[in-house]
Structure 1
Amino acid sequence: MTATATRPGQETPAPAPRPRGRGLRAALLAVIAVALVALGGGLAVGLGIGQEATPTANSVDAGFSRDMAVHHRQGVEMANLALERSTDPEIRQIAFDISSTQTNQAGQMEGWLALWGLPRSGGEHMAWMGGGHASHDTPSTSGSGALMPGMATEDELAALRSLSGTAFDVEFLRLMIRHHQGGFDMAQYAAGNAAEPAVRTLARSIAETQTAEVTTMVGMLTARGGTPLPAP
């Protein structure tokens, strides 16, 4: 490229001014703002939730999400214990399935609550179901309030942790069968009464999946010489 000569008496053009720090910062902030808006929309889409209306704290959608997430977290706790303690391949497989599925589902429900700006805890368990469904079961020894149907007490969990071998496998199946049975009414009610389609779909999936898993676990329990606990 041939350099352009400067004629005598002609001033050399000044270089173009560089963007000032303030202008560059404003441009970056604008880009970040657009990205955050897009991320918020993507989060809602990823959780399968529409953005037209926000459920209230006392709604079926919020109540189900709060209570079933808590219910699931105990199921995950027991399933993870089985993965640590059991050497039975069948027990380990169903424990893995329960742990992975319910961890994902609990995270999804807690994500909905965060998206709606609602707390993950609070209120009377199952009051959102109406018709006297509020939980008045045996209080937990941890003092955390009444347990929802099917949930194990702290004493039952402590007893499970003390077992090993086939005795552990049998007691794990007994507690998990009852746990699944206890969550069925909540899932069935939400499937028919939640306002959000995604909540109804998840509730229906939980009811169907856990019903099938109960059938499988009852067969496994019988094969190991155990009998189910009374249904909650």
Structure 2
Amino acid sequence: MNRTQWAAVTAVVLAVLFAGAATVASAVGDGGGGDGTSDTPTASSADAGFARDMSVHHQQAVEMSFIVRDRTEDEEIRRLAYDVANTQANQRGMMLGWLDLWGLPKLSAGSEPMAWMSGSGGGEHAGHGGADQVGQPAPAEDGVLMPGMASRADLARLGKAGGKQAEIEYLQLMITHHNGGITMAEGCAKLCTVDTERKLAQGMVDAQRSEVDLMVDLLRKRGAEARTD
């Protein structure tokens, strides 16, 4: 088993262990009404929609992080990639665990991604963020399911790059990815009714904004800038 496969197995194990402990402690008895009631979120709720969509969004971040760890020897980038993969694999495990506890499907056939954000005031898909964000998500195309996600061409380019170029590709893609995720998490912080999930979403916003600032600095050290298209 190669290094990437071992890393993937490790992330999955961590996610399952974390989900097993954290979801039971945090989601059982945390009512959907946000006022102490025991209402369980429905399949069409913002709570369920965010958990489903952000799980998919996070999975790609984990994938990109494993790719760059095998494409560079730079310890700063490798540490960043490990932190992103570990954090987002754990969070993904929590969200999938909540869906299990709520008795809801992890995939919703016939439902458009981001439909749960229609009430957030963010417009169609509500995922492109404001004009002041660095690295705006591209329009959905070439396999892009949600704002900020990399296309198939992006992933192929990252997988072929090496050294400094791989570092730049990863940082540019991840800045865009984080900004798309930030907007999604802001939507949940506003629309979700499960208190624990709202807190997780706000934590994502704060952490990913900080990581965007770090990645912008890392790009500048490499003579590059975040993408704006």
TM-score (norm 2): 0.76
Q: Indicate whether 1:116 and 2:118 are aligned.
A: no
Q: What is the 5 A alignment of 1:22-61?
A: 45-50=24-29, 52-61=38-47
Structure 2 distance, partners of 1:179, 1:64, is 16
Shift of 1:138: 2.6
| Aligned residue number for residue 134 of structure 1 | 125
Structure 2: distance between partners of 1:44 and 1:99: 19
Structure 1 gaps of 5+ residues are 1-40
Tell which structure's C-alpha radius of gyration is larger. 1
Deviation at 1:46, TM superposition (A): 2.9
Deviates more, 1:44-53 or 1:181-190: 44-53
Q: Which amino acid aligns with 1:59?
A: S
| TM-aligned CA deviation for residue 86 of structure 1 | 1.4
What is the number of equivalent residue pairs in this alignment?
187
What RMSD over aligned residues (CA atoms) do the two structures have, in Å? 2.0
Structure 1 residue 97 and structure 2 residue 95: aligned?
no
> Percent of aligned pairs with the same residue?
44
The amino acid across from 1:60 in the alignment is A
Partner residue, 1:77: 63
For 1:154 and 1:211, locate their aligned partners in 2 and report how far apart those are by CA, in whole Å: 25
TM alignment of 1:164-179, pairs within 5 A = 164-179=162-177
Residue type of the partner of 1:198? T
1:114, distance to aligned residue in structure 2 (A): 1.0
Contact 1:125 1:135 in 2 (8 A): no
Instruction: Answer yes or no: is the 8 Å Cα contact 1:71–1:183 preserved in 2.
Output: yes
Q: Does 1:216 align with 2:218?
A: no
The letter of the residue matching 2:86 is S
Which residue matches 2:146?
Answer: 148
For residues 47 and 179 of structure 2, the distance between their equivalents in structure 1, rounded to whole angstroms, comes to: 20
Offset of residue 42 of structure 1: 7.6
TM-score (norm 1): 0.75
Structure with the bigger RCO (C-alpha within 8 Å, sep 6+) is 2
User: Structure 2 CA distance, aligned partners of 1:182 and 1:166?
Assistant: 25
Corresponding residue for residue 107 of structure 1: 93
- For residues 92 and 112 of structure 1, do their structure 2 counterparts lie closer, same or farther at Cα, with a shift above 3 Å needed? same
Asked if the contact 1:135/1:147 (under 8 Å) is kept, the reply is no
Partner of 2:205: 207
- 2:25 partner letter: G
Distance of 1:84 and 1:214 partners within structure 2: 22
Q: Residues of 2 paired with 1:192 and 1:90: CA distance? A: 34
Q: Is the alpha carbon distance of 1:119 and 1:217 closer, same or farther for their aligned partners in structure 2, counting shifts above 3 Å?
A: same
Deviation sequence 1:190-222 (CA, Å, 0-9, x none): 112211011101000000000000000000000
Instruction: Measure the CA separation in 2 of the matches of 1:92 and 1:63.
Output: 32
Task: Tell me the SS of whatever aligns to 2:140.
Answer: coil
